[in-house]
Amino acid sequence: MALNSAFLVAEFVYGWLSNSTALLADAGHNLSDVLGLLLSWGAMVLAKRVPNERFTYGWRSSSILAALFNAVILLLACGAIGWEALSRFANPEPVASTTVMFVATVGILVNGFSAWLFSRGQQNDLNVRAAYLHMLADAGVSVGVVLAAALMSQTGWRWLDPLVSLVIVALIVKSTWGLLKESMKLALNSVPEHIDAAGVAAFLRQQVGVTEVHDLHI
C-alpha cells in the first residue's frame, strides 16, 4: 500500500507537469488499486469488532459502503479524465514524452514488484491471486503508456496520448462498474446470486409443521 500510494502521488504530479492525460488516467487506475487494498484491510479490521447494543450486526457492512463510495469516486474521476481526453482530440497539446516514458517505466517496476510480493501466496488464496493478477495487469497498462509515449516522440502523433488515456479509462470503468453493481446490491440487501430464493421457500414448505411461508427475507 505504501509503495503504490507513493507512486500514485508521483504519477499524478508528473502527469500534470508533463501535460499527459495518459499518465493521469494511469494514476486513476493505480488509485483503484490503493483504495481496493485499503478496503480489504479495513474490512479485515472491522470484521473483528463484536456487535453491541447499538450496532447489533457489528461493523461488517461498513466495507460495503466504502466499496460503494470507492466506485462512485472512481467513476467521477474517469468522467473528468475522459472529457479532457476527448477535448484534446480536436486540439492535441504537446506532451513531455520523455517524462511520461520515465514515470511509466517506474510504474512497471512498482507494479511488477507488488505482483512479486503476492506471487508466493496466490496459488492457495483466491483474494491474493486476484491482487496478484491485478498488479500484473497494471504493469501491462504501464507498458502500453511507455510504448505510446515512445511512438509519440518519434512520430509527433499527439493524439496518441488522449487515445491511450481513453483506453485506460475504459478499463477502469469496466472493473468499477462491476464493483458499483455489487456494492449496490449488498447495500440494498439483495439475495446473493448463488442462492435460489424459490428453492429456499420450497425447502421451508417441505419441513414438518410448516404449512406456508410468508414474508421471506434472504
Domain 2-187 coded CATH 3.40.50 = no
Residue 119: closest CA among 109, 130, 108, 132 = 132
Cα distance between residue 176 and residue 110, in whole Å: 22
Amino acid (one-letter) located at 22: A
pLDDT in tens, 159-168: 877 787 788 7
pLDDT in tens, 44-102: 677 778 888 888 888 877 777 777 777 787 788 778 778 877 877 777 777 777 888 88
Amino acid (one-letter) located at 172: I
